[in-house]
Chain A
Amino acid sequence: MPTDVILWILGGLILISAVMSLALRNLIHCALFLMVCFLGLAGLYLHLNAVFSGLVQALVYVGAVGIILIFAILLTEGGGTETGSHLGSQWRTGIGLAVLLAFALLGAVSNSPQTTQAARHTEEPTVREIGLKLMTDYLLPLQTIGLLLTAAAIGAVVLAMQEPKPRKDETP
């Protein structure tokens, strides 16, 4: 019984914070609610015994992506409050698509063999097993991703480093 209660609390937290992160006017508030949503998802993963996914969710999304998001907001718009209508010109189409997508997902989830079968108690992969898999079977993809990310980081630094060179005849 407490399991269900925790699931409901987490689900409510995730849904409410997701809606708030879209509905609020102040961009910083939206970003903070998005972080609450990410934390709720991390809690959900932890509750489902997926320790690695849960902790990485908190580490990457709240610790890194959240900070990048906030810096991006501050550097572009200054976190000002937006005025004007919430709804764009195509909101009817958007709602239609969202409803269609929701039905498609519901159909997929309810028809999937995972839910129709009785809950199978498989052994959860431990962090150790995930690490061993990454270092043996998935070593090449891991290294490739690492190389790509390094290239991206170096590229970002090169882009940020380009300053207009002062001309030689100009005295400072």
Chain B
Amino acid sequence: MEPLKGLLSTLWKALTDQPDPKAPFLESIPEDYRSLASAVLSVAPILMVFPLLFALTTVLERKGLGRIQNRLGPNRVGPAGFLQFAADGLKTLTKEDVVPRAADRVVHFLAPIALVIPVLLTFAVLPFGRNLAPIDLDAGLLFFFAVSSATELAVFMAGWASRNKYSLLGALRAVAQMVSYEIPLVLAALSVVMITGTLSLSAIAAAQSPTPGSFLAPWYVFTPWGLMGFLLFMIAACAEANRSPFDLPEGESEIIAGYYLEYSGFKFALFFLGEYLGLFASSGLAITLFLGGWNAPFAFMQGWLPSWVWFFAKLATLIAVFIWIRGTLPRVRMDQLMGLAWKFMIPMTLLTLVAAGLWHRLPSAPLRWVACTALLAGAFLVLGRVLMPRTRHGRRVYRYAD
């Protein structure tokens, strides 16, 4: 009875933003098991919340894409189709698991696991609320990037072990894309590290808390370099997650499904899960770095809702934006993809670093606003003009629709 009471008290403390939420439960159990119980308390919520969020996102994405494409989307299972994910989950669990005869069976089996584990590990350092960081690591940002770099290897394992030319092509595309976009991703995150002077994600989120008396919270997205860094970070995160418009690794018109072509049943579901969890993790990192983490947007709102509500509201908004982008933009070509990364994103992220340095050094507020904005906007215009020569488009003529 005592542990159950402790657990409820822990849950209450976590949901209401109180410091050290784990303490009541840990005090109620024997001394020897405390470190294990503490780890379970950190891991279990992540394993419960984010796969459920993934399930809901698949339904919402299909419904949203349906709206964009002027159709209904899933609407049969459960109220308004919202239990579709349960049907899909049961289907993937009971489907036959087909492994090609030529495949490298062991590597083929290990690849989805090797994808999901590092993605889940990245959630360990994200601060979901004021006192809700699973591990408050001193080098949290470094941990995030170190762990997520292992996913490239998993994608390669999947594509290579399937012994299918489309799988291998998809894997090579994915690895090339992820390697290219990792550089702007890290560089964009570095601008925040330059300003805050710490790699701890909890400290970065806390640095964006509104000071009492001010109106707008000092989120980094409200500065010129922060806005540019945030946009570049989101583009790079989109490419890292292999999402539209950067979904060449699974371009179905060319290479069918890319690296997970030869996967069926639950292994396929694991790839799907890993991809979405990766998207959530990098969105969570973007929220922590640029969108104020668990802080409210205005100083007077700070105590209105528990801090984790703000975090998940921002996460939901970013997911909605990703769905919107997927429904709106066409897939880019391979040379456009690489050109964007190496000719546009990397110079712009380097200039964002310069702008962050200027922001830190320049004394007066109006001067640094003008200098940073001029630097970034000028670079954007020049790069855009050089890389995309202006072409004249005539007026659009509808031949048959009139």
Contact = CB atoms under 8 A, between A and B. Distances in A.
A59 B149 contact: yes
A127 B146 CA distance: 14
B301 interface: no
Given A51-B138, A128-B198, A66 B153 contact: yes
A55 B138 CA distance: 12
Given A63-B146, A63-B150, A64-B149, A55 B156 contact: no
Contacts of B153: 32, 35, 62, 66-67, 70
B53 interface: no
B190 to A, nearest CB: 12
Given A62-B150, A63-B149, A63-B152, A55 B142 contact: yes
Contacts of A42: 146
Nearest to A64: B149
Contacts of A128: 138, 198-199
Given A55-B142, A127-B138, A127-B139, A32 B150 contact: no
Mostly, the B contact residues are helix
A143 interface: no
Contact of B146 (A58, A66, A67, A126): A58
A66 B145 CA distance: 15
Contact of A56 (B146, B147, B160): B146
A52 B140 CA distance: 11
A79 interface: yes
B139 A55 contact: yes
A127 B142 contact: yes
B179 A67 contact: yes
A55 B143 CA distance: 6
A28 B160 CA distance: 9
Interface string B149-174: 11011001100100000000000100
Interface string B320-339: 00000000000000000000
B234 interface: no
Contact of B107 (A32, A63, A67, A74): A32
Interface string B164-206: 0000000010010001001000000000000000110000000
A59 B146 contact: yes
B147 A58 contact: yes
Interface size of A as a range: 20 to 34
Interface in A50-81: 51-52, 55-56, 58-59, 62-64, 66-67, 70-71, 74, 79
Nearest to B137: A51
B139 A51 contact: yes
A59 B145 contact: yes
Nearest to A52: B139
A52 B137 CA distance: 11
Interface in A18-70: 28-29, 32, 35, 39, 42, 51-52, 55-56, 58-59, 62-64, 66-67, 70
Nearest to A39: B150
Nearest to A58: B146
Contacts of A39: 150
Contacts of A67: 152-153, 156, 175, 179
Nearest to A42: B146
A127 B157 CA distance: 32
Given A32-B107, A127-B142, A128-B198, A62 B160 contact: no
Nearest to A157: B342
Contacts of A59: 142, 145-146, 149
Contacts of B160: 28, 79
Contacts of A52: 139, 142
A79 B182 CA distance: 26
Contacts of B147: 58
B138 A62 contact: no
24 contacts: A28-B107, A32-B153, A35-B153, A39-B150, A42-B146, A51-B137, A51-B138, A51-B139, A52-B139, A52-B142, A55-B139, A55-B146, A58-B146, A58-B147, A58-B149, A63-B149, A67-B179, A70-B153, A70-B175, A127-B138, A127-B139, A127-B142, A127-B199, A128-B138
Counting from the closest, the 9 A-B pairs by CB-CB distance are A63-B149, A59-B146, A58-B146, A127-B139, A55-B146, A55-B142, A62-B150, A51-B139, A127-B138
Given A51-B138, A62-B153, A127-B138, 20 more contacts: A32-B157, A35-B153, A51-B139, A55-B143, A55-B146, A56-B142, A58-B149, A59-B142, A59-B145, A59-B146, A59-B149, A62-B149, A62-B150, A63-B149, A67-B153, A67-B156, A67-B179, A70-B156, A126-B138, A128-B138
